[in-house]
Amino acid sequence: MSQPWPRTAAWVDGWLTSIGGVDVAELAAMYGTPLYVMDRAELLSRMREYRQAFGPDVSVVYAAKALCVVGVLQLAADQGLGVDVASDGELCTAERAGFPMQRVVLHGNNKSRDELRHAARLGVGTIVADSLGELDRIAAVAAEVNRQLVVMLRITPGVAASTHAFIATGHDDAKFGFSLWRGAAAEGIDRALNLPGVHLTGLHCHIGSQVTATDDFVVAAKAMCGLLGETRDRHGVELDELNLGGGLGIAYGPDDHTLAVTTYADRLLTTVGDELAARRLATPRLAVEPGRSIVGPAGLTLYRVGAGKEIAGLRRWVSVDGGMSDNLRPALYGVRYAVAPAGTPRHGPTAEFSVAGKHCETGDVVAADVDLPEDLGEGDLLAVAATGAYGYAMANNYNRLPRPAMVLAGDGAAQLLVRRETLDDVLAHDIVLR
């Protein structure tokens, strides 16, 4: 069991009063709501925890898709992490953050030639190839820039991870990578080893996201070590790198089961050590790619309550000033988030509420059936836990809502990571017909 709130969250009688030493009511007053708040201490300690748990010989590559903003990538770079980018936009964010390009890993199941060219020009450390066609595209770009590109192959290890179907990626018929199924992976390795301009350094896998079953990770690691052994036996080549992807799950509510980073690291390192020893393979450089488990629990969202209504005998609703535009995850994956009253505490009884977003859609529910102060009403603040990952990252302008601001709170001060969008930003791309 684990609790979903960041460690600097301060509480009085069940009300969230401050984060990173900054009063939440002041944050809301100064920056407006909805507001994403990242707890600096939680964020940094999660980055350090990963580095310590895996040790100096393993690269911890932050999966930027979870939260790709310049300030967060600056912190990741400072902490010695690498970064996984999955598009030119994420790559440009890493560039703007001053990320050392050697530590950048480019992913994606359909990288365009332009994306590959940009990565090659910037000197991105590793390109992870996802398909035979993509290998050819990488080779063509290598010829254009007239140098070898460092490439890993994404392998689909045939593991159906226990998670939501939309975010499982390791099963045989997944859209990503070279499946072990019917030798596609072996064929990819053959091709990569023989393509001019491609320098194949290793293999990568990622079985899915929000995974908390250790066995899923262990089975995938075993399959990958098996493939390293087969590659040695078939081609006489011992590959230098093995990237086991990300996917470690986090707690969204108080009853969610999680896996400690140290346990996860121990199991992965022991499995890989044993499997390689059994095949008499030298240990390749290992990497992991956590996204959610670094930024997720470090973030929360502050909303302001507006309208409310009681449907006699059925339900009490309160509506907040955001919803599925700033957090798509309840609607998309049915995730249940923890909610708490925030700001100046009041004493009194609680009652069961459902918290609605403000979008024109019945599925726009921030949290159903949660206990909140009975007198909760207009002007009150609510905090939703663990929104740091895939919240802002998947935010949108449904109903033309501007995307919220994001602040970094720590040591009693807050600074902007992302400014709030304005309606001018939202309208900026529309062309008035003449």
Angle at 366 between CA 363 and CA 371, to 5 degrees: 125
């070590």: which residue's tokens? 225
99 HSE (CA, 13 A, CB side): 36
Q: Which is nearer to ligand LLP, 204 or 359 (CB)?
A: 204
CB of 373 to ligand LLP, least distance (A): 29
Burial readout 369-382 (b: 16 or more C-beta within 10 A, e: otherwise): ebebbeebeeebbb
- φ/ψ of residue 82, rounded to 5: -95, 180
Vertex 214 angle, CA 211 and 218, to 5°: 110
Pick the piece of the chain touching ligand LLP (CB under 6 A) from 71-79, 231-239, 288-296, 396-404: 288-296
CB of 434: closest distance to ligand LLP in angstroms? 40
Does the annotation count 360 as an active-site position?
yes
The correct pick among 170, 253, 290, 341 for binding ligand LLP (CB under 6 A) is: 290
Binding mask 142-171 for ligand LLP (x = CB under 6 A): -------------------------x----
Q: Minimum distance between the CB of residue 377 and ligand LLP, rounded to whole angstroms?
A: 31
Region binding ligand LLP by CB under 6 A among candidate stretches 226-234, 240-248, 275-283, 419-427: 240-248
Does position 247 bind ligand LLP by CB under 6 A? yes
Give the residues across from 23 on adjacent strands. 18
What gap in Å lies between CA 172 and CA 174, rounded to an integer? 6
3-state secondary structure of 416: strand
Least distance (Å) from ligand LLP to the CB of residue 172?
A: 17
Identity at 94, one-letter amino acid code:
A
The residue from 197, 253, 291, 410 that contacts ligand LLP (CB under 6 A) is 291
Vertex 8: Cα angle to 34 and 418 (nearest 5)? 35
Q: How far is the CB of 203 from ligand LLP (least distance, A)?
A: 13
Structure tokens given for 429 = 């791309």
User: Interface mask (CB under 6 A) for ligand LLP, residues 372-391, using x and -?
Assistant: -----------------xx-
Applying the rule CB under 6 A, the residues between 2 and 61 that interact with ligand LLP are: none
Instruction: Identify the H or E element spanning 425.
Output: helix 423-427
Binding string, 196-235, against ligand LLP, x = CB under 6 A? ----------x--xx-------------------------
User: Which of 64, 305 has the CB closer to ligand LLP?
Assistant: 64
Q: Is 84 in the site for ligand LLP (CB under 6 A)?
A: yes
How far is residue 146's CA from residue 382's CA, in Å, rounded to a whole number? 55
In whole angstroms, how close is the CB of 246 to ligand LLP at the nearest point?
A: 3
Region of 253 please: left (phi>0), alpha (psi -120 to 50) or beta. Answer: beta
C-alpha neighbours within 13 Å on the C-beta side of residue 350: 13
- The answer to whether the beta carbons of residues 217 and 211 sit under 8 Å apart is yes
Identity of the residue numbered 424: D
Q: Of 110-149, which residues contact ligand LLP (CB under 6 A)?
A: none
Contact between 359 and ligand LLP per CB under 6 A = no
Nearer to ligand LLP, 275 or 289 (CB): 289
Site residues for ligand LLP per CB under 6 A: 63, 65-66, 84, 107, 167, 206, 209-210, 245-248, 289-293, 329, 389-390, 394
Any idea which residues carry the catalytic annotation?
360
